[in-house]
Amino acid sequence: MSIPPTPAGPALEFDPPLSPVMRIDCPVRLDYTIAAGREQSRFLRAMSRGHLLGRRCPECRKVYLPPRGTCPRCGVMTAEDVEVQPRGTITTWCVTNVPYEGQVLELPYVTASVLLDGADLPFYFLIQGLPADQIRMGMRVEAEWADTLGPTLDSIRCFRPSGEPDADPASYAEHV
């Protein structure tokens, strides 16, 4: 008996014959310790109290959420905490139809960039409470907080349609 011939040339004879291993699993794992930084630590602590805390640039007056220590547009330190409302407008969205490793949500599901009222930077959230094919730009949504709050983004379970009329496209055109 011999193993199948290979491009490497004549194969060595084995009894019983060897059957080549076609694939191997190569697990890759990197363990990090993430430091949130000063501003985002304040943001996460505020979430554990049910508040959304942004940060305003003293020059262009834009409010960043998640907050940044410096304004990427003006290059100056942000100086002022600003509370942002847990409701906003969908600027862009994505419907996920294809399963993937580690997926826990029921398909199809919707994620969207939400421009929170009082913020100038859209934030990515899970959207629940409507059929995936009804998601649209300009839709108004509000946060559903988790039962237990903590210094984590999981403090907001998802956003749901608020029932308000759709926002005027001009109100978010600069943020798409």
Partner 1 sequence: MATPDDSEVLKAPYALQYTYTRSTGPVLGHFFAGLMAGRVLGARTATGRVLVPPAEYDPDTGEAVEALIEVGTAGTVTTWTWVDAPAESAPLSRAFGWALIRLDGADTAMLHAVDAGSPERMATGMRVRARFAAEPRGAITDIVCFDPVEAS
Q: Hey, how many other C-beta atoms are within 10 angstroms of the C-beta on 100?
A: 7
Q: Please, what is the minimum distance in Å from the beta carbon of residue 101 to partner 1?
A: 8
How many residues contact partner 1, by CB under 8 A?
Answer: 37
Q: Please, what is the minimum distance in Å from the beta carbon of residue 24 to partner 1?
A: 5
Q: Please, what is the minimum distance in Å from the beta carbon of residue 171 to partner 1?
A: 30
Site for partner 1 in 113-152 (CB under 8 A): 151
The smaller minimum CB distance to partner 1, of residues 24 and 173, is found at: 24
Pick from 7, 99, 163, 165 the residue near partner 1 by CB under 8 A: 7
The smaller minimum CB distance to partner 1, of residues 2 and 171, is found at: 2
Site for partner 1 in 29-68 (CB under 8 A): 29-38, 40-42, 44-45, 49
Distance CA 157, CA 132 (A): 17
Distance CA 150, CA 48 (A): 4
Q: Hey, how many other C-beta atoms are within 10 angstroms of the C-beta on 2?
A: 12
Q: Under a CB-based contact definition with an 8 Å cutoff, are residues 67 and 55 in contact?
A: yes
Report the run of H or E that residue 47 belongs to, with start and end: helix 38-47
